[in-house]
Structure 1
Amino acid sequence: MNLRRLRSFIVLAEELHFTRAAAKLFVAQQSLSKQISQLEAELGTPLLHRTSRKVELTPAGKVFLAAAREVLARFDQGVAEARRVGQGEQAVLRVGFVVGAALELTTHILAEFTGRHPGVRVELHEFGFADPSAGLAGGDTDVAFIRLPSSTYGLVATPLFTEPCVVGVSAAHPMSCRDSVRVTELLDEPIAIGRTDDSVWRDFWTLAGYRNGKRARNLVETHSQSEEVEVVAAGMACSITPAAARRYSPHPGVRFVAISDHPGSIVAVALRSGRMNLLAASFTDAAVTVRDRETQTLRTIQGAPAVG
């Protein structure tokens, strides 16, 4: 099996016509037919159903087409990257992240990736509430740490861990001395929410799923994590937030109380679908490796105390 046969098969699968495909490949129709027959013989199964009137992909052919496209995309990108590096250009991976990134796993993941690719320059880009995709949606980043649920249209997300949610309240709030609260106790509270057009993200952090279709009445929009903390400390609103806020955003005027019946927030590493990027795929693999290796750190994150 070789790349020439894969390319020939892809063109034929797209054209579904031997004459047109042969012309596009600049080969004789007989040569193309021979290449496909050799490919089918190597696989041990027909890829095409041929009649005098039309050419169709078999079920096996449809599966193989997807695999062939991925193989060639990876190969072509590898060739381009090798040429670029060989010409003295440094490969760059743009990594986006929202507040907290992958928490305590972040440095481990970056170290794992740079250890695998010492010649690659990693650029870190932080994004605020307005873009929960951390630059992926607009093509500003190649791979990103994101929080789910959020809109993942056009993205491939690999979950790393699920973190408990807490509610941040003013130190003067009646709930500040509680060990935990239930969602129903928060539905009439004003809630601080980052300004974003991502309705999936917004609904999760404003408890929309518990309101029986009714809109939250008292929402206070914020532009950043630090602004949200100050709003809460001033008693203007509470905030539904990951438990890591206790470690990453401490404030003398804010207390974090566990929410006993709200699902956790998933931290994932994501990349754009349909655009094969070998470095982004390798970064995802490094993240999964670290997740599976750093079990103690992961337990700390997932079971972190929520009261503070």
Structure 2
Amino acid sequence: MSEVIFKSSMAEKIEGFIRFKRSQGYKYDVAPIYTLRYFDEYCLTHGNPTEYSERLVTGFIIHFQEKRNFKKCDFISTLREMGSYLRATGNSSAYVPGKEFQTKRHVKNVYVMSEEEIIAFFGEMDRYYYEKRDDQSVCHCGRNFVYPAYFRLLHATGVRTFEARWLKSSDVNLDQKYIDIMNSKGNRDRRLYIRDDLADYLIKYHEQIIRMFPDTEWFFPSVEGMKCENAGAFAAFFNKIWKKTPFYIEGAKHPTPYSLRHHFATANIIRWASNGEDVHAHLPYLMRAMGHSEIEATYYYVHLVQEHYGMIKEKCSELEDLFPEVIKYDENF
């Protein structure tokens, strides 16, 4: 199951824990295996105990910090998750490190848009283009079609901003209602099925674009009909529309186009939790839809939900012991 061979009396428990984590979609290599390897060695040199006791675990924490010069946040999550796993599999006496070893989560203060803000944003955008429909300086080169369709795709599918901008028409099958995201982050591909209403909207959109750019291969072409490299133009238009909403406050933190991806993820988690569904069981599907290579990145959004939506915090709290505590944020994850 791994290149590391565990030799202590805890080996079977350690290997079972690793199998469980990998079955949940985690790679569980490098740092966690490093921690468990030294935990196994510590057991061998400290009486080779068979129980995951408080004395054993806290002794290892102190030893590991002193000898390996590691900070708590580098390994404490692995130890806590293993204790929770052992309890969940029948070892009720297994020790789970308490608040004295609590690590501070790293969750960047991103902007999570509410449903009211989403409605206001799209309402103002549609109103803007309706009022400016005869203004060629505003509607030049199909921007009045490209921007609304682009932002609706972000909102409905949660794709990364560059994935949408670089989407080719050949990767969009609106008759079968799916889009293929090709060669994305990590050179990975994925297929996303879209709702009927979005497919109908995009069919009408694409008809307009083909009239303007009959030879373009890009689904959201630039003003020249080429690949849309200019992310700043989309961000500038997003900000322009956001300022028209009643939620805009000068000088305050505001959303960005990427906030639509955040909203897609958090809205799904909130819906599952509010409906009493198993959020844990749904996360692998969300992971694939978002294009994450590891489920740890997807669990970042559970932390966001807990930070911003207190009414479902309790419904997600039972996941805490079996998921990572420290989540690294990446604007393009």
Same fold flag (TM > 0.5): no
Superposition TM-score, scaled by structure 2 size:
0.24
> Which has the larger share of helix?
2
Structure showing greater radius of gyration is 1
> Which has the larger share of strand?
1
